[in-house]
Chains A and B, each alone.
Chain A
Amino acid sequence: MAAPNGAVPAIEFRDVQKRFGDTVVLDGLNFTVAKGDRVTLIGPSGSGKTTILRLVMTLEDLTDGYIFIDGEPLTHAEVDGERVELKPKHKTEIRKRIGMVFQQFNLFPNMTVIENIIEAPVHVLGMSKEDAIEKARGLLDQVGLADKEDAHPLELSGGQQQRVAIARALAMDPEILLLDEVTSALDPEIVGEVLGILKDVAESTDITMLIVTHEMQFARDVSNRILMFDGGRIVEEGTPEEFFTNPKEQRTRDFLQAVVADPITGALPWQPAPGASGTPAAPATPTTPSTTSTTTQDGDPL
Chain B
Amino acid sequence: MNDIWNWELAWEALPTLLVGFFTVTLLVTVVSTAIAAILGLVIAIARRSAPKPIAAVIRFVIDFIRMTPIVVQLLFAYYAFTNIDPLTIGIAVFGIHYSTYMAEVYRAGIESVPKGQWEATTALSMSRRRTWVAVIIPQAVRATVPALGNYAISMFKDTPFLLSIGVVEMVQAGLVFGGNHFKYIEAITLAGIIFLLASYPTSLLICRLEKRLAFRN
Say yes or no: is B211 at the interface (Cβ < 8 Å to chain A): no
Q: Per-position contact with A for B194-217: 1 when CB-CB < 8 Å, else 0? A: 000000000000000000000111
Say yes or no: is A152 at the interface (Cβ < 8 Å to chain B): yes
**Of A100-108, A211-219, A229-237, the one touching chain B:** A100-108
A-B interface, 4 closest residue pairs, ranked by CB to CB distance from nearest? A120-B124, A106-B120, A106-B116, A100-B123
Give the interface of A toward B (CB within 8 A): 57-59, 92, 95-96, 98-100, 102, 104, 106-111, 119-120, 123-124, 152, 154-155, 168-169, 172
**A57's contact among B123, B127, B130, B215, by CB below 8 Å, is which?**
B123
Give chain B residues whose Cβ lies under 8 Å from the Cβ of A96.
125
CA–CA, A95 to B142, complex, Å?
30
Chain A: CB-nearest residue to B130: A123
Give chain B residues whose Cβ lies under 8 Å from the Cβ of A172.
124-125
Say yes or no: is B134 at the interface (Cβ < 8 Å to chain A): yes
Say how far B47's CB is from chain A's closest CB, in angstroms. Answer: 20
Say yes or no: is B138 at the interface (Cβ < 8 Å to chain A): yes
B217, A155: Cβ atoms closer than 8 Å = yes
B217, A154: Cβ atoms closer than 8 Å = yes
Main secondary structure, interface of A, reads loop
Say yes or no: is B6 at the interface (Cβ < 8 Å to chain A): no
* Interface positions of B from 115 to 158, Cβ below 8 Å from A: 116-117, 119-120, 122-127, 130, 134-135, 138-139, 142
CA–CA, A291 to B178, complex, Å?
102
**A109's contact among B122, B123, B124, B139, by CB below 8 Å, is which?**
B139
B216, A102: Cβ atoms closer than 8 Å = no
Give chain B residues whose Cβ lies under 8 Å from the Cβ of A57.
119, 122-123
A-B contact pairs, 27 of them (CB 8 A): A57-B123, A58-B122, A59-B119, A92-B125, A98-B123, A102-B116, A102-B119, A102-B123, A106-B114, A106-B117, A106-B119, A106-B120, A108-B117, A108-B134, A109-B215, A110-B138, A110-B139, A110-B215, A111-B134, A119-B130, A119-B134, A120-B124, A120-B126, A124-B130, A152-B215, A154-B215, A154-B216
A108, B122: Cβ atoms closer than 8 Å = no
Say how far A233's CB is from chain B's closest CB, in angstroms. Answer: 26
Which of B117, B120, B130 is packed against the most chain A CB atoms within 10 Å?
A: B120
CA–CA, A107 to B114, complex, Å?
11
Contacts beyond the supplied A102-B123, A108-B117: 19 A-B pairs with Cβ under 8 Å: A59-B123, A98-B123, A100-B123, A104-B116, A106-B116, A106-B117, A106-B120, A108-B120, A108-B135, A109-B215, A110-B135, A110-B138, A110-B139, A111-B134, A119-B130, A123-B130, A124-B124, A124-B126, A124-B130
B125, A120: Cβ atoms closer than 8 Å = yes
Give chain B residues whose Cβ lies under 8 Å from the Cβ of A123.
126-127, 130, 134
Give chain B residues whose Cβ lies under 8 Å from the Cβ of A92.
125
Say how far A148's CB is from chain B's closest CB, in angstroms. Answer: 13
Give chain A residues whose Cβ lies under 8 Å from the Cβ of B124.
99, 119-120, 124, 168, 172
Give the interface of B toward A (CB within 8 A): 114, 116-117, 119-120, 122-127, 130, 134-135, 138-139, 142, 215-217
Chain A: CB-nearest residue to B142: A110
**A95's contact among B125, B130, B138, B217, by CB below 8 Å, is which?**
B125
Say how far B136's CB is from chain A's closest CB, in angstroms. Answer: 10
Chain A: CB-nearest residue to B135: A108
Which of A57, A109, A169 is packed against the most chain B CB atoms within 10 Å?
A: A109
Say how far A28's CB is from chain B's closest CB, in angstroms. Answer: 26
Chain B: CB-nearest residue to A172: B124
Give chain B residues whose Cβ lies under 8 Å from the Cβ of A168.
124
A124, B127: Cβ atoms closer than 8 Å = yes
B123, A169: Cβ atoms closer than 8 Å = yes
Say how far B13's CB is from chain A's closest CB, in angstroms. Answer: 48
Which of A98, A99, A100, A106 is packed against the most chain B CB atoms within 10 Å?
A: A106
CA–CA, A236 to B34, complex, Å?
62
Say how far B183's CB is from chain A's closest CB, in angstroms. Answer: 55
**B120's contact among A58, A107, A124, by CB below 8 Å, is which?**
A107
Give chain B residues whose Cβ lies under 8 Å from the Cβ of A102.
116, 119-120, 123
**B216's contact among A100, A104, A108, A152, by CB below 8 Å, is which?**
A152
Give chain A residues whose Cβ lies under 8 Å from the Cβ of B122.
57-59, 95
Say how far B172's CB is from chain A's closest CB, in angstroms. Answer: 43
